[in-house]
């Protein structure tokens, strides 16, 4: 550990504290003496309405007013602290944002947010939800020797299998976040409508399939984008060509493992639900189900929009693959115009005043509206009595009342053209577009940006080279490299380093370090470096199934949507179901990667 200084230890401790806050955020109460002038300034700048200020300054309100240190802001505060203590120079901050010739953080963020908008806009049209209903209904058939008026039933196992395949296939195309957004809300409605009171088999298989599927294409997960950019891998021939086989193998293996767990284990039945019929319904995968009697076309809110966004997504992915063979074309040059085009199309589609929403249409939109309220910040539910000085939070709080109502009828002129007023007006005028924006994982911007800088800080202060030296001692051959990187990423980096994105950022810095990449052992056997890269690519996706829900942003989003639908998944329960599955899948993925690079000589850089 030579070369480390006092600043090195400050950087490491700061990084560790930030990661702890990312996993489990806290809120710092703002004293009344500070809150009052801050709120006065916010009103003067029209960030808050006067009624909001009065409510926040009522007796006892100082206990509710707080500053969040969580996934969104902890990395930013950590960076500011290191700058203030001169541990990090300004050029490291610039490098953490702009990047170098191999890793460009802004490229990763622009690509992910742009594709996330297109995928989420596709989901907002009701396309994925309508397809889910259509698949569930097509799996049903008339029971033999039954009257024509008898309802159609579906085999529980068949429908569970069909949905698993559906989640995986579309997860490959659009990534895990749209599947989590649309599919989780759908499953909440589906399990209620079919009388399934133990929905673990359905929600766990969906989450597993979506996160396994996201390992196939570069565009499906920001971790893939980061890895491909770090080593300048061609999206098709340099990345997908070597992840598609492990992804398919893992998906195939995950199916019997999940089926075995949910078939052999049975939920505990309440004392008043011990009849044979209820016992069947209480199985994780019931024998027979009645699919929801919903016309899939009724769930399709915007058919033209669904066609447009689906086509745009496929064309964008195709162009990304094509331009990955062309030098000088950066990823943002393709994805940013596509995201802007999708956004402008949504605005154009709402150029006319929105029509009043009918009651039945509102019921059909229930799942989407509930999903739009989700903000993936922490695993534990936020207390409704907690407020924050964050302007976007205050604005979104006001925006939830789309009719522009207020508990204070006076002073409307004072509220005119304030930020909350403009947000309410925009949400009312462009409801679908603003709903799509509200569902974007925008917290990724501050989180990933801060983590990029902190990881660069570890490199600047000597820690990355130290970790890389340890890695060289462990990675004595391709087999040791593949399995160590796979297990360590899944079990340690993803759950501890602030989601799989934070873990991947740190792992990339370590593997790219000259101490590892240019070591005599790695230079003599290039398969070691290839094994580390592709094992990391698989593990950064499978690691979402690790022992903490916060191992991925998708996990935070997933558990919040389930809470909205009345399905509670605790941290212990998540780990109990997912860790055994994750260990099996990580082993399979690592074994396939090892075969590719060690025996088939594929993926050697």
Q: How far apart are the first and last CA of the chain?
A: 30
Tell me the three state secondary structure of residue 134: helix
Report which listed range, 105-109, 162-166, 296-300, is most confident. 162-166
Query: Span 579-602, mean pLDDT?
Result: 92
pLDDT, position 370: 43
CB 500 within 8 A of CB 543: yes
Residue 25 has pLDDT above 50, yes or no: yes
Residue 179 has pLDDT above 70, yes or no: yes
Query: Span 222-243, mean pLDDT?
Result: 90
Instruction: Find, among 323, 356, 326, 354, the residue nearest to 337 by Cα.
Output: 323
How wide is the angle at C-alpha 446 spanned by C-alphas 502 and 22, nearest 5°?
50
pLDDT, position 1: 63
Taking the C-alpha atoms of residue 239 and residue 305, their distance in angstroms, rounded to an integer, is 31
pLDDT, position 604: 61
CB 504 within 8 A of CB 216: no
**C-alpha dist (Å) from residue 40 to 128, 326, 391, 559:** 45, 54, 13, 36
Angle, helices 571-594/478-488, rounded to nearest 10 degrees? 160
Tell me the three state secondary structure of residue 306: helix
Q: Are strands 154-155 and 387-388 parallel, antiparallel or unpaired?
A: unpaired
CB 96 within 8 A of CB 502: no
Query: Span 475-481, mean pLDDT?
Result: 96
pLDDT digits (tens, 9 = 90+) for 305-352: 999 998 998 898 888 878 877 777 888 898 899 999 999 999 999 987
Q: Exposed (0-12), middle (13-18) or buried (19+): which is 155, by Cβ within 10 Å?
A: middle
Residue 23 has pLDDT above 90, yes or no: no
Residue 272 has pLDDT above 60, yes or no: no
Give 153's DSSP letter.
Answer: B
pLDDT bin (cut points 50, 70, 90) of residue 143 is confident
**Residues constituting the chain:** 605
pLDDT bin (cut points 50, 70, 90) of residue 503 is very high
Percentage above 70 pLDDT, the chain: 84
Taking the C-alpha atoms of residue 569 and residue 562, their distance in angstroms, rounded to an integer, is 8
Q: What pTM did the predictor assign?
A: 0.79
Taking the C-alpha atoms of residue 82 and residue 79, their distance in angstroms, rounded to an integer, is 5
pLDDT digits (tens, 9 = 90+) for 36-86: 888 888 888 888 877 777 777 776 554 567 888 988 899 999 999 999 999
Taking the C-alpha atoms of residue 292 and residue 165, their distance in angstroms, rounded to an integer, is 19
Query: 23 Cβ partners below 8 Å, 6+ apart?
Result: 495, 496, 498, 548, 550
Backbone angles phi, psi at 141, to 5 degrees: -150, 165
DSSP 442-506: THHHHHHHHHHHHHHHHHHTTHHHHHHHHHHHH-SSHHHHHHHHHHHIIIIIHHHTTHHHHHHHH
pLDDT bin (cut points 50, 70, 90) of residue 356 is low
Q: Exposed (0-12), middle (13-18) or buried (19+): which is 441, by Cβ within 10 Å?
A: buried
CB 544 within 8 A of CB 552: yes
pLDDT, position 318: 85
pLDDT, position 425: 87
Percentage above 90 pLDDT, the chain: 39
Backbone angles phi, psi at 66, to 5 degrees: -155, 160
pLDDT digits (tens, 9 = 90+) for 520-548: 999 999 999 999 999 999 999 999 999 99
Query: Span 480-494, mean pLDDT?
Result: 97
Average pLDDT value for the chain: 82
Cα atoms in the 13 Å half-sphere on the side-chain side of 440: 23
Residue 514 has pLDDT above 70, yes or no: yes
Query: Span 205-215, mean pLDDT?
Result: 96
Handedness of CA 259, 260, 263, 265 (dihedral sign): negative
Taking the C-alpha atoms of residue 125 and residue 259, their distance in angstroms, rounded to an integer, is 32
Residue 29's beta-bridge partner residues? 66
DSSP 20-75: HHHHS-EEEEPPHHHHHHHHHHHHHTTSS-HHHHHHHTSTTHHHHEEEEESTTTHH
CB 126 within 8 A of CB 298: no
pLDDT, position 360: 42
Three-state SS annotation for 197-256: CCCHHHHHHHHHHHHHHCCCCHHHCHHHHHHHHHCCCCHHHHHHHHHHHHHHHHHHHHHH
**C-alpha dist (Å) from residue 397 to 25, 321, 386:** 20, 40, 12
Contacts 24+ apart (CB under 8 A), 314-321: 314/173, 316/115, 316/118, 317/173, 317/217, 317/219, 320/218, 320/219, 320/235, 321/235, 321/236
Q: Which helix (H) or strand (E) holds 387?
A: strand 387-388
Query: 357 Cβ partners below 8 Å, 6+ apart?
Result: 365
Strands, E assignment, 249-293: 288-289
- Burial string for 260-280 (b: 16+ CB within 10 Å, else e) reads ebbeeeeeebeeeeeeeeeee
Query: Span 255-263, mean pLDDT?
Result: 95
CB 168 within 8 A of CB 213: yes
Taking the C-alpha atoms of residue 177 and residue 214, their distance in angstroms, rounded to an integer, is 9
Tell me the three state secondary structure of residue 169: helix
Instruction: Find, among 443, 464, 375, the residue nearest to 15 by Cα.
Output: 464
Query: 530 Cβ partners below 8 Å, 6+ apart?
Result: 478, 597, 603, 604, 605
Tell me the three state secondary structure of residue 300: coil
**C-alpha dist (Å) from residue 427 to 423, 481, 603:** 6, 51, 48
**C-alpha dist (Å) from residue 279 to 262, 273, 276, 312, 577:** 15, 7, 5, 46, 22
């Amino acid at each position: 550990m030579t070369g480390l200084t006092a600043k090195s230890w400050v950087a490491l401790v700061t990084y560790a504290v930030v990661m702890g806050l990312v996993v489990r955020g806290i809120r710092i109460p703002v004293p009344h003496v500070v809150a009052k002038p801050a709120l006065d300034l916010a009103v003067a700048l029209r960030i808050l309405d006067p009624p909001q200020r009065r409510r926040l300054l009522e007796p006892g309100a100082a206990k509710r007013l707080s500053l969040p240190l969580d996934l969104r802001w902890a990395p930013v505060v950590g960076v500011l602290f290191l700058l203030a203590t001169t541990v990090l120079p300004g050029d490291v901050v610039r490098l953490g944002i702009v990047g170098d010739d191999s890793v460009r953080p802004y490229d990763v963020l622009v690509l992910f947010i742009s594709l996330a908008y297109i995928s989420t806009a596709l989901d907002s049209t009701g396309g994925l939800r309508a397809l889910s209903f259509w698949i569930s209904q097509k799996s049903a058939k008339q029971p033999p020797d039954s009257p024509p008026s008898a309802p159609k039933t579906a085999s529980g196992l068949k429908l569970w299998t069909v949905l698993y395949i559906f989640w995986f296939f579309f997860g490959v195309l659009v990534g895990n976040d749209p599947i989590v957004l649309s599919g989780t809300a759908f499953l909440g409605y589906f399990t209620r409508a079919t009388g399934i009171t133990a929905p673990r088999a359905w929600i766990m298989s969906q989450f597993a399939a979506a996160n396994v599927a996201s390992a196939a294409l570069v565009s499906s997960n920001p971790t893939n984008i980061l890895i491909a950019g770090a080593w300048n891998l061609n999206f098709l021939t340099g990345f997908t060509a070597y992840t598609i086989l492990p992804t398919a193998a893992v998906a195939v293996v995950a199916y019997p493992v999940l089926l075995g767990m949910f078939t052999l284990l049975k939920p505990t039945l309440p004392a008043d639900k011990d009849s044979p019929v209820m016992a069947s319904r209480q199985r994780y995968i019931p024998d027979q189900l009645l699919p929801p009697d919903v016309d899939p076309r009724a769930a399709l809110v915007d058919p033209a929009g669904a066609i447009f966004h689906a086509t745009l997504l496929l064309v964008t992915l195709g162009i990304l693959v094509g331009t990955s063979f062309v030098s000088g074309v950066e990823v943002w040059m393709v994805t940013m115009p596509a995201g802007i085009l999708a956004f402008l199309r949504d605005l154009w589609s709402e150029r006319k005043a929105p029509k009043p929403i009918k009651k039945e249409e509102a019921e059909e939109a229930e799942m989407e509206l509930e999903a739009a309220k989700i903000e993936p910040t922490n695993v534990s539910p936020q207390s409704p009595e907690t407020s924050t000085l964050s302007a976007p939070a205050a604005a979104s709080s006001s925006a939830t009342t789309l009719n522009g109502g207020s508990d204070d009828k006076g002073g409307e002129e004072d509220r005119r053209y304030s930020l909350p007023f403009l947000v309410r007006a925009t949400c009312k005028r462009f409801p679908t577009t603003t709903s799509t924006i509200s569902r974007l994982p925008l917290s990724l911007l501050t989180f990933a940006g801060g983590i990029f800088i902190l990881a660069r800080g570890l490199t600047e202060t000597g820690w990355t080279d130290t970790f890389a030296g340890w890695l060289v001692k462990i990675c004595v051959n391709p087999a040791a490299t593949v399995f160590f990187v796979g297990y360590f990423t899944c079990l340690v980096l993803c759950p501890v380093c602030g989601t799989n994105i934070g873990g991947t950022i740190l792992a990339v810095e370590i593997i790219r370090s000259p101490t590892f990449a240019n070591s005599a052992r790695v230079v003599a056997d290039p398969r070691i470096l290839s094994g580390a890269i592709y094992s990391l690519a698989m593990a950064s996706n499978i690691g979402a199934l690790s022992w903490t829900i916060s191992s991925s942003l998708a996990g935070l989003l997933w558990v919040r949507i389930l809470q909205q639908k009345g399905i509670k998944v605790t941290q212990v329960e998540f780990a109990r179901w997912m860790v055994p599955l994750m260990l099996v899948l990580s082993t399979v993925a690592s074994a396939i990667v090892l075969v590719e690079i060690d025996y088939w000589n594929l993926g050697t850089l």
